A and B are shown apart, each in its own frame.
Chain A
């Protein structure tokens, strides 16, 4: 769940309030947004991805709040880590690092074809065992 909006990093742009699909945040004019409805958070990480200054931290725990200290996540370099991995971070010019996709696809296809061959041999495949 969303655990942190850094008051020191936040520019009060309100983008997180706009993009959150489950409307977790509220914002008074000119202030740092607040995590108003934390239990509605679905842990989708989209706010963090859209935050232009890496001021947010979504803990990976979906069903419970864990409590997060800004200093701790900053020390672990976690602020903005997902945005960087996706290629939306500063310096990545919005392009994605994509070289893994074809390899994973080919490997997956090979893995999928094995069980399919079995199904066809048995001639049923109406229920996965």
Chain B
């Protein structure tokens, strides 16, 4: 029996709840999963590390959506548009069904009252969503569906028994309570990993779900496609890159950097940044365009307005902030169309799941990402509810145990300086943030980084747990694990494909037109998986 279904913040006793479906993560994928599971009649609990409605990369930002009307020609063009950029690793069948589901879901959002604008002909324009508005609406729909939300409740470990995954456990950070949810099925919708780079909204995205799933035996795919960097004013967190299509990039002297650009010339910016500062100015936008820009993305202008910079007239220093697997495409491998992970009772969606299925090894703007989140979230929630239903009502009697237990980890030796989670995180960031390691990759650097990352992993898991809260300890572990999976896959892929660039193998190798699947914690295993349904590209 559940101990209680309501609890106040003054109650410091552990929270123990039962549900058919537990959704971990309250961004777009998690909220769609929760709504879809509830539609199936499941009792659903959603936990979020922060606050469902503001957490994650979408809420403070805004995103294009891969919303394409069901006309065969338009759909074909949409599928082909980024196929080559993605290195021919996407799956036609998955693209088709994501386009179909996204179209349905976006129309549902309109029915729910999202204020889509109209175009010049008065037709509704549904190809973009504003983050704050979208996620506030999704929280409301989740609550209206009867889902219970636990905010500020990071998950620390999945619970398992002989039947598979049966819930999760974590802490409520504002009350220091432990929480446990026994559930028939779990959906991982924890987002990707941006290594605490402060890319907009990304600091809750530390790879926690990847680690928890891997501990339960799930595999990951496409982890080499994890080196997305966003252009950003150097002082700022606002990693919105669309308007840099209208920018010119400059050296400190004021001379134009030839070849530098947002879409095709980001590598030129990265190379220049290795030795000197880079400046930008959005000087290719007409006055009319400038007005539209302000209306379309007010958050892009907040840092400039507050710092007293006119980005259309003044040159401002820019940097590249790592977005890791958030805008990269790697994540938990899905074994079928239900978004199952292969571990009984465990489903994955959104950035936590591999987006290679629709993007291959490259992602541009948020359009595919938003479509993937709402589609995979919907399917994962629906499938998790059906799975829990098939278990019957006895699943509440299960007593699954955590896979990770803070008390069972390494003890800190009092005589030794154990290091803090902050130091561990810095050590990992030093391996994954520099462009000359992660954006431009080579065998020697990858091997060096992996050796150091392996040592960090061994230390924090087996020798000395770093000081810091349980949440931060787990984040440090998750980032270390994610970095090791990334670089193991990057080392294996001896070619350049999608966003994965090897300076020692600068072209694509036809023999490597397959996905790379990694698994394991202490020892990482890797194998290839063929593309099953390639898109037939009609030669032009």
A90 at interface by CB-CB < 8 Å: no
Q: Which residues of A contact B293 (CB under 8 A)?
A: 100, 104
Residues 59-107 of A at the B interface (beta carbon under 8 Å): 59-64, 78, 81-82, 85-86, 88, 95-105, 107
Residue of B with least CB distance to A81: B305
Residues 101-129 of A at the B interface (beta carbon under 8 Å): 101-105, 107-108, 111-112, 115-116, 119-120, 124-129
A9 at interface by CB-CB < 8 Å: no
> Given the known A-B contacts A86-B299, A100-B294, are A19 and B53 also in contact in the complex, defined by CB atoms under 8 Å?
yes
A45 and B299: CB pair below 8 A?
A: yes
Q: Which residues of A contact B376 (CB under 8 A)?
A: none
A46 at interface by CB-CB < 8 Å: yes
B152 and A23: CB pair below 8 A?
A: yes
> Given the known A-B contacts A81-B305, A107-B289, A120-B540, are A96 and B115 also in contact in the complex, defined by CB atoms under 8 Å?
yes
The interface centre, meaning the residue of B132, B200, B497 with most chain A CB atoms within 10 A of its CB, is B132
B202 at interface by CB-CB < 8 Å: yes
B336 at interface by CB-CB < 8 Å: no
Residue of B with least CB distance to A17: B174
Residues 113-154 of B at the A interface (beta carbon under 8 Å): 115-120, 125, 127-128, 130, 132-133, 151-152
Residue-by-residue, is A9-53 near B (CB-CB < 8 Å gives 1, otherwise 0)? 000000001111111000000000000000010111110011000
A46 and B54: CB pair below 8 A?
A: yes
Query: Of A18, A19, A112, which one neighbours B263 at CB under 8 angstroms?
Result: A112
- Bound complex: CA A120 to CA B203 (Å): 37
The interface centre, meaning the residue of A46, A59, A111 with most chain B CB atoms within 10 A of its CB, is A46
- Bound complex: CA A97 to CA B292 (Å): 11
> Given the known A-B contacts A62-B237, A86-B299, A101-B128, are A21 and B84 also in contact in the complex, defined by CB atoms under 8 Å?
no
Residue-by-residue, is B199-232 near A (CB-CB < 8 Å gives 1, otherwise 0)? 0111110000000000000000000000000000
Q: Which residues of B contact A120 (CB under 8 A)?
A: 84, 540
- Bound complex: CA A98 to CA B114 (Å): 12
Closest chain-B Cβ to A36's Cβ sits at a distance in Å of: 11
Residues 272-323 of B at the A interface (beta carbon under 8 Å): 289, 291-299, 301-307
Residue-by-residue, is B502-518 near A (CB-CB < 8 Å gives 1, otherwise 0)? 00001110000000000
Closest chain-B Cβ to A128's Cβ sits at a distance in Å of: 5
Residue of B with least CB distance to A26: B174
B264 and A21: CB pair below 8 A?
A: no
A105 and B54: CB pair below 8 A?
A: no
- Bound complex: CA A49 to CA B133 (Å): 11
> Given the known A-B contacts A43-B237, A44-B237, are A18 and B51 also in contact in the complex, defined by CB atoms under 8 Å?
yes
Residue-by-residue, is B255-273 near A (CB-CB < 8 Å gives 1, otherwise 0)? 0000100011111000000
Partner-binding segment picked from B55-63, B392-400, B458-466:
B55-63
B296 and A100: CB pair below 8 A?
A: yes
Q: Which residues of B contact A112 (CB under 8 A)?
A: 245, 263, 364
A22 and B50: CB pair below 8 A?
A: yes
B235 and A105: CB pair below 8 A?
A: no
> Given the known A-B contacts A63-B235, A120-B84, are A101 and B117 also in contact in the complex, defined by CB atoms under 8 Å?
yes
> Given the known A-B contacts A42-B237, A101-B128, are A95 and B84 also in contact in the complex, defined by CB atoms under 8 Å?
no
Query: Of A40, A98, A108, which one neighbours B117 at CB under 8 angstroms?
Result: A98
Closest chain-B Cβ to A18's Cβ sits at a distance in Å of: 6
- Majority secondary structure, B binding face: loop
A20 and B51: CB pair below 8 A?
A: yes
B496 at interface by CB-CB < 8 Å: yes
Q: Which residues of A contact B295 (CB under 8 A)?
A: 97-101
A60 and B497: CB pair below 8 A?
A: no
B266 and A23: CB pair below 8 A?
A: no
Residue of A with least CB distance to B301: A85
B60 and A102: CB pair below 8 A?
A: no
The interface centre, meaning the residue of B151, B200, B237, B289 with most chain A CB atoms within 10 A of its CB, is B237
Q: Which residues of A contact B117 (CB under 8 A)?
A: 98-99, 101-102
- Bound complex: CA A127 to CA B128 (Å): 27
Q: Which residues of B contact A107 (CB under 8 A)?
A: 289, 292
B535 at interface by CB-CB < 8 Å: no
- Bound complex: CA A18 to CA B9 (Å): 12
Residue of A with least CB distance to B133: A96
Closest chain-A Cβ to B149's Cβ sits at a distance in Å of: 11
- Bound complex: CA A125 to CA B291 (Å): 34
A127 and B496: CB pair below 8 A?
A: yes
B6 at interface by CB-CB < 8 Å: no
Q: Which residues of A contact B236 (CB under 8 A)?
A: 43, 60-62
B198 and A42: CB pair below 8 A?
A: yes
The interface centre, meaning the residue of B133, B201, B238, B296 with most chain A CB atoms within 10 A of its CB, is B296
- Bound complex: CA A62 to CA B196 (Å): 12
Q: Which residues of A contact B265 (CB under 8 A)?
A: 129
Q: Which residues of B contact A108 (CB under 8 A)?
A: 242, 245
Binding site for A on B (CB under 8 A): 49-51, 53-56, 59-60, 64, 81, 84-85, 87, 115-120, 125, 127-128, 130, 132-133, 151-152, 173-174, 198, 200-204, 233, 235-238, 242, 245-246, 259, 263-267, 289, 291-299, 301-307, 364, 496-498, 501, 506-508, 540
A-B contact pairs, 14 of them (CB 8 A): A21-B54, A22-B203, A42-B237, A44-B59, A62-B198, A62-B235, A62-B236, A102-B117, A102-B119, A103-B296, A104-B289, A104-B292, A128-B263, A128-B264
Closest CB pairs A-B (n = 3): A100-B295, A21-B50, A60-B303
A19-B53, A86-B299, A104-B292 are known contacts; what are 5 more A-B pairs with Cβ within 8 Å? A43-B200, A50-B54, A60-B236, A105-B64, A129-B267
